[in-house]
Structure 1
Amino acid sequence: MKKVRLIGLQEKNLHSMNNYIMALQMILDIDKDTGHLCNRIAPLVADWPRQLFIRKAITNLHKTNSQYIIPDKINSFIPILGPLHVSLNSREHVILIYYSFFEKLFHFVFGKRKVLAKKPKPWRINLLLDLAYNGWLE
């Protein structure tokens, strides 16, 4: 990230499409001076709920009867899922698909009284996948 400068820091609540539009508008206001987004796109790394708000804004921009006021330059932002979220989602997906196997493994290691949640926490998912992988190697 050579030659990158932080030009501002502002705390925002990002819980709705309007919040995201306001946050992106701050970037667009800076871009008026620099013109970096002219005929270019900017990837916006976000997990699924955050992507949804950005996608809604882009969709509402192209609707003819939209009730929202959305700047045209929002089209310059393309929401993408980052590698961390791809990894976390794929790990969770493996646990959910093979839940019966991982439940048996969980009970074998921690005892019958312990309950494996239907949607385990990420640290527990990592533990179970690591146990299964290392057990497979032995």
Structure 2
Amino acid sequence: MLDENNAQCPVARALEVLGDRWALMILRDAFDGLRRFSEFQKNLGLAKNILASRLKLLVESGLLALQPASDGSAYKEYVLTEKGLSVFPVVVGLRQWGERYLFEAGEARSELFEAAKGQAIETLQVRALDGRVLGAEDCLRRVVRHG
């Protein structure tokens, strides 16, 4: 539960859902096409009770939806919703930061490539509406009301 100081902060609210390591790893696997509980469990090596609780949170938060299996079997599948798909740039940003700072030269790692052309993807950047690249020093935070 967020305190008064953090209730207006979008980062704090996002971390309520995405701040758990396993939540992001499940979403990463969902972006890679995994859909079934057993696939997530096998790929992550996560205890079934922990996986079940994280999947439940992601469904309750609207990032994943539970639906009948696409192959017509009795199984259920977890599919990304529009809200879940919109987390993709967050996962890519974490991936790119990790690639840059957390691996030694020559150390094996996975990388993300554009599927259609097989090319590396551009590093994410924060940009102004006119296209200029912005750093933290170029931005300010303020409380606004929408709606």
Aligning the two structures, in what range does the TM-score lie when normalised by the shorter sequence? under 0.3
TM-score by length of 2: 0.23
Larger RCO of the pair (alpha carbons < 8 Å, separation 6+): 1
Which of the pair has more CA radius of gyration? 1
Bigger fraction of residues in helix: 1
